[in-house]
Amino acid sequence: MKINNLRINSFGKLTDKDIKLSNEINLVVGDNEAGKSTMQKFISCILYGASKNKNGKEISDFDKFKPWYSDEFSGKIEYTLDNGESYEIYRDFKKKNPIIYNSQKEDISKDYLIDKSKGIEFFVEQTGIDEETFYSTAITEQEGIKLSKSSQSSIIQKISNLVSSGDDSISFKKTLEKINRNQNEEVGTSRTSQRPLNVVENKIYKLNEQKKNLDTYKNRIEGNSSRKERLLEDQKKTQYEKEFLKEMKTILEDTKIKDAEINFNKNLEKEYNQKIKELNEQIAENREKTENKIETHRNYYLVLSLCIISFVILMFVNPYKIINFALLIPIFLIIYKKYKDEKVVEVAQISSTDKTKIMNEIEVLKKNREAQRNEAKSKEGNLEKEIEEKKQKLAEKYEKLLTSEFIEKNLARDYDAIVRRIDRKEDRINTIKFELQTMEATAEDITKKLDDLSNIEEELQDAEDEKKELLSLNNSYNIAKECLEKAYEKVKSSISPRFIKNLSDIISKISNDRYNNIVLTDDEGLKIEIENGSYMPVSRLSVGTIDQMYISLRLSALDEISNETMPIILDEAFAYFDNERLENILRYINANFKDNQIIIFTCSNREKEVLDKLKIKYNIATL
């Protein structure tokens, strides 16, 4: 891969920059703080995106390189892969995905897979190199070299890591020790105490013991719950029965009212019969009295006639006048009695006159009696029909709520029986309510005890979950160690020999054949063979030699990670090299990485002067 051109619209402090690069060595020269490291960062950000995550840094790349005084935050890179295909990548860093053009300037962005978090990973698909690997191999930053200068052992460790594990930041031995230490601290084993796994297992045991003591309350409240459900169902059924009986009672009460109306009509009929009877009796009595008076009247005249005849005879026969006049007294009494009898006869004659009127009254009473009789019969017929209809509607209303047996029996009961059953249903409902209230009070008491059980069960579940997580974590640690050991063995058997040979070749060339053989041991790390045949720790070499070895070995790892010939970007990587070491490393790079595009960021003319001295062709770009 070769980068042909960089177009920086606005990125960090750089604006409106157009940098053309050659396929071989490129020197990008600029004063300190001119933006060389920013340009190096621009290359990686346009290929992989400017992350908004800090990833352990004080500020994210997005926030660090976002221009302060411009809304423009974009740029473009043009490059050609080893297969000859050319691409232009335009990226607005405020957007997740770039626009990818092929050599015909066609947008082919949709041809690549999209990661939800990272966006289009076109460069990974094209080269097989992710961002982390790109930084570990293709780019050597000034800060990395400065850090290694502060500690020679740190550099040696990086080289040892690279040789043994394939990554300069990973030490297999220390990693394995750290995994074991973390596993012991974060999980623990059956032989440890006061470790998370031991603590949680002890906690589970104690909680289970407490739970056993409280389970009896739980069983009791579960039994009460079933009993409560049955009581509530019974209450519901009894309530429906009571409502049915109350409606039946209403029907019977309405019936009693209608019966009273019918009885009223019947009573009127009886009253009319009684009045008719009384009037007929009055007529008969008057008739009898009249007949008796008339007979008495006849007898009166007969007696009076005999008295008068007797008085006349005595007047002529009896010389005693007093006695004769004494006979007048009966005559006067008879005459007075006659007068009174005449009055009675007169009365009898008046009653006879009113007979017609009484007879008319009797006829009216007979008509009213018949009307009351007919009305009573009509009401009786309508009442029977109305009662049957109401009972039928009542049965239909409750047919899905009550049994047919209950409905049929109670439809046939009388008023008093219904009232008694309503009272019994009310008593049953009150009994159920009382039992439910008692159960509720008992449940509250048990619930207070079960609060502890609930908390214990919750704690137990949390402890069980914690144990599962710890066992899962422990399993992950074991898998990680197993994979790490397998990877380590694979690296030792495949990658390490090539790295060691390559490293030996490098040391031989940069030391003018003074050192020819390097070995890697598990205990002591990298060691180098000196002139007398003994092996000396690499840490005893000079800092400059170690720096050269580290950079060269790091760059040589590019052959192992990708089939694509990646550019080599060196950002102030030689700032602490003397002229001899600088000459040696540039000669080595030129000789061993001819197929790689070399981009060197520098603030001095030393690299230019050495390249001119060695007659090595290069391209220069100035910031």
Q: Do the domains 2-148+546-622 and 260-413 sit in the same CATH topology, yes or no?
A: no
Please compute Rg for the chain using Cα positions.
65
The pTM (predicted TM-score) of the whole model is: 0.50
User: What pLDDT is stored for residue 350 in this prediction?
Assistant: 44
Cα–Cα distance measured from residue 443 to residue 267, given in angstroms and rounded to the nearest whole number: 64
Q: Are 63 and 85 in contact (CB under 8 A)?
A: no
Going from the C-alpha of 487 to that of each of 288, 480, 553, the distances in angstroms are 149, 10, 20
User: What pLDDT is stored for residue 95 in this prediction?
Assistant: 92
Closest listed residue to residue 4, CA positions, set 599, 534, 530, 602: 599
Is the pLDDT confidence value at 131 over 70?
A: yes
Is the pLDDT confidence value at 20 over 90?
A: yes
Closest listed residue to residue 598, CA positions, set 590, 606, 607, 608: 590
User: What pLDDT is stored for residue 144 in this prediction?
Assistant: 46
Q: Does residue 384 or residue 522 have the better pLDDT?
A: 384
Is the pLDDT confidence value at 234 over 70?
A: yes
Please state the domain extents for the chain: 2-148+546-622, 260-413
User: What pLDDT is stored for residue 569 in this prediction?
Assistant: 92
Q: Tens digit of pLDDT for each residue in 399-417?
A: 888 898 988 888 888 888 8
User: What pLDDT is stored for residue 27 in this prediction?
Assistant: 95
Q: Does residue 440 or residue 587 have the better pLDDT?
A: 587
Q: Does residue 408 or residue 214 have the better pLDDT?
A: 408
Is the pLDDT confidence value at 148 over 60?
A: no
Query: pLDDT exceeding 90 applies to what percent of the chain?
Result: 21
Q: Are 341 and 296 in contact (CB under 8 A)?
A: yes
Q: Tens digit of pLDDT for each residue in 547-579?
A: 767 676 666 666 666 778 999 999 888 887 788
Report for 7-11, 257-261, 306-310, 482-486: range of highest mean pLDDT? 7-11
| Confidence category of residue 146, pLDDT binned at 50, 70, 90 | very low
Mean pLDDT, to the nearest integer, of 44-57? 88
Mean pLDDT, to the nearest integer, of 488-517? 72
Closest listed residue to residue 507, CA positions, set 519, 494, 496: 519
DSSP 491: I
Cα–Cα distance measured from residue 283 to residue 291, given in angstroms and rounded to the nearest whole number: 12
Closest listed residue to residue 265, CA positions, set 372, 355, 149, 341: 372
Q: Residue 571 forms beta bridges with which residues?
A: 601
Helix (H) or strand (E) holding 331: helix 328-398
Distance of alpha carbon 583 from the chain centroid: 70
Question: At which residue do the structure tokens 């602490």 appear?
Answer: 576
| Candidate from 170-184, 372-386, 473-487, 566-580 with smallest mean pLDDT | 372-386
DSSP 107: B
Going from the C-alpha of 532 to that of each of 515, 528, 538, the distances in angstroms are 11, 11, 16
Backbone torsions φ then ψ of 141, nearest 5 degrees? -90, 155
Is the pLDDT confidence value at 147 over 50?
A: no
Report for 163-172, 320-329, 513-522: range of highest mean pLDDT? 513-522
User: What pLDDT is stored for residue 163 in this prediction?
Assistant: 56
User: What pLDDT is stored for residue 371 in this prediction?
Assistant: 65
- What is the CATH code of the structural domain delimited by 2-148+546-622? 3.40.50.300
Q: Does residue 570 or residue 503 have the better pLDDT?
A: 570
* 18, two tokens: 């157009």
User: What pLDDT is stored for residue 102 in this prediction?
Assistant: 95
Is the pLDDT confidence value at 357 over 70?
A: no
Backbone torsions φ then ψ of 418, nearest 5 degrees? -65, -45
Q: Tens digit of pLDDT for each residue in 51-108?
A: 888 877 889 999 999 998 889 999 999 999 999 999 999 999 999 899 999 999 999 9
Q: What is the arrangement of strands in the sheet containing 86-92, beginning at the earlier edge strand?
A: 14-20, 2-11, 74-80, 86-92, 99-101
The count of other CB atoms within 10 Å of the CB of residue 534 is 9
In three state form, how does the secondary structure of 255-294 look? HHHHHHHHHHHHHHHHHHHHHHHHHHHHHHHHHHHHHHHH
User: What pLDDT is stored for residue 58 in this prediction?
Assistant: 86
The count of other CB atoms within 10 Å of the CB of residue 556 is 19
| Confidence category of residue 158, pLDDT binned at 50, 70, 90 | low
| Summary mean pLDDT of the chain | 78
Q: Does residue 165 or residue 253 have the better pLDDT?
A: 253
Question: At which residue do the structure tokens 């008495």 appear?
Answer: 296
User: What pLDDT is stored for residue 609 in this prediction?
Assistant: 94
Mean pLDDT, to the nearest integer, of 229-234? 87
User: What pLDDT is stored for residue 415 in this prediction?
Assistant: 83
Mean pLDDT, to the nearest integer, of 206-235? 76
Q: Tens digit of pLDDT for each residue in 254-313?
A: 777 666 665 665 565 566 567 667 666 766 666 666 666 666 656 666 666 666 676 667
Cα–Cα distance measured from residue 599 to residue 619, given in angstroms and rounded to the nearest whole number: 9
Mean pLDDT, to the nearest integer, of 584-607? 90
User: What pLDDT is stored for residue 387 in this prediction?
Assistant: 79
User: What pLDDT is stored for residue 42 in this prediction?
Assistant: 95
User: What pLDDT is stored for residue 28 in this prediction?
Assistant: 94
Cα–Cα distance measured from residue 557 to residue 500, given in angstroms and rounded to the nearest whole number: 12
For the segment(s) 260-413, the CATH number from 3.40.50, 1.25.40, 1.10.287, 3.40.1000 is 1.10.287
| Confidence category of residue 339, pLDDT binned at 50, 70, 90 | low
Q: Does residue 344 or residue 581 have the better pLDDT?
A: 581
In terms of phi and psi (left: phi > 0; alpha: psi -120 to 50; beta: otherwise), the region of 55 is: left
Per DSSP, the three-state class of 162 is helix
Mean pLDDT, to the nearest integer, of 149-160? 47
User: What pLDDT is stored for residue 452 in this prediction?
Assistant: 72
User: What pLDDT is stored for residue 83 in this prediction?
Assistant: 94
Q: Residue 139 forms beta bridges with which residues?
A: 569
